[in-house]
Amino acid sequence: MTGRARFPASPLPRLPKGTTVTVGSFDGVHLGHQAVLHEIGRRARESGRASVLVTFDPHPLEVVNPEAAPPLLTTGPERLEILALSPLDYVLLLRFDRHLAGLTPESFVQEILLERCAVRELVIGHDHGFGRGRSGDVETLRRLGAAEGFDVDVVDPIDFGGQHVSSSRIRRAVAGGDLVTARAMLGRPYSVVGRVGLGERRGRLLGVPTINLSELSPRKLLPPDGVYAVRVEWRGGHAGGMMNQGPKPTFEDGRRILEAHLFDVDADLYGEWVRVEWVERLRDIERFESVQHLQKQLERDRSRALAALAAAGSTSSHTTTV
């Protein structure tokens, strides 16, 4: 699906027919979020309105309760990239600060939904809470909608494994290394976006040239360290590969590094932004007695990674999301 969502830094343009709106953090843009996005897209098309997502950066808990703020499934740029592939017309990205956190439900509806979005229809998830201390809920919105002239409807949750799909469930799956469950609830492989930085070129000396990811957000949730089969995408290309995520004890390097070897690629990607999708965990991080022992293990890793990539399919599913 080609992206079309726009991200205005200023108020939305004048929309005579008003808007169909949803609101939320949408971390991960998982299957439950996607159901809401498809619903507001459908309703907006039928009514001739514009579809709008009102979302926030940083995550609200980073402001109101930093100690409880969860690691992110999608950083701000990752989330916007996924949303650009959605049926949305606009994404209104609000900086979440103390002022926004302190708005009562009534003030939030007046200042954000009515004055900034000209809302005529609001579509939300089943567990939506908003306003100061999340004091507003679905019934609050229905009461305010009746008074202010906009409709409110709720999209049913999406279930997986007998429970509702949620960002918190996906975080638990990723943190526990359950990439299959995370992928099922996201509707795509779990991934990270980073810029290719300079490494120490040890991989080239070992016969497995690598790219090192830099500029990763400290807020990004990573799966457990290990060696993984991965897919890597960059502007104008993509390839399968294998990635060492974590320290390199054979070289006495204790830093947590994401270093990927791309199969059958001979390109200088330094400075490029790339997306790495975790496909399958191959093994734990190990310390080897010698470089020769490491090289033999890397040959085995390559064979296993190629098999995992073949089993998962040769093309990325990222662009078919939402």
pLDDT digits (tens, 9 = 90+) for 128-144: 878 787 888 889 999 99
pLDDT at 225: 96
pLDDT at 256: 86
pLDDT at 296: 92
Q: Which of 30-44, 59-73, 97-111, 238-252 has the lowest mean pLDDT?
A: 238-252
Mean per-residue pLDDT over the chain, rounded? 89
How many beta carbons lie within 10 A of that of residue 304, not counting itself? 16
Q: Which residues contact 226 (CB under 8 A, 6 or more apart)?
A: 177, 245, 246, 281, 282, 283, 284, 285
pLDDT at 317: 47
Q: Is the pLDDT confidence value at 316 over 50? A: no
**Largest separation between any pair of C-alpha atoms in the chain:** 74
pTM, two decimals, is: 0.89
Q: Would you call 136 helix, strand, or coil by DSSP?
A: strand
pLDDT at 206: 58
pLDDT at 5: 62
pLDDT at 8: 58
In terms of pLDDT, which residue wins out, 163 or 129? 163
Q: In this structure, which long-range contacts are made by residues 32-38, counting pairs with CB atoms below 8 Å and at least 24 apart in sequence?
A: 32/125, 32/157, 32/158, 32/164, 32/165, 32/166, 33/125, 34/86, 34/187, 34/321, 34/322, 35/155, 35/156, 35/158, 36/123, 36/124, 36/125, 36/155, 37/83, 37/86, 37/87, 37/88, 37/322, 38/87
Amino acid at residue number 286: E
Which CATH code for domain 191-320? 2.40.30.30
pLDDT digits (tens, 9 = 90+) for 277-308: 999 999 999 988 888 888 899 999 999 999 99
* Nearest in space to 268 (alpha carbons), one of 316, 215, 207, 198: 198
β-pairing, 19-23 with 50-57?
A: parallel
pLDDT band at 14 (very low <50, low <70, confident <90, very high): confident
What CATH architecture is 19-164? Answer: 3-Layer(aba) Sandwich (3.40)
Task: Determine the Cα–Cα distance for residues 251 and 288; give it in Å rounded to an integer.
Answer: 9
Domain boundaries, the chain: 19-164, 191-320
What is the chain's Cα-based Rg? 22
pLDDT at 268: 85
pLDDT digits (tens, 9 = 90+) for 183-217: 999 999 999 999 998 766 555 555 578 899 988 99
Q: Are 157 and 32 in contact (CB under 8 A)?
A: yes
pLDDT band at 75 (very low <50, low <70, confident <90, very high): very high
pLDDT at 212: 92
pLDDT cut 90: percent of the chain above it: 72
The terminus-to-terminus CA distance of the chain in angstroms comes to 8
pLDDT at 254: 62
pLDDT at 202: 58
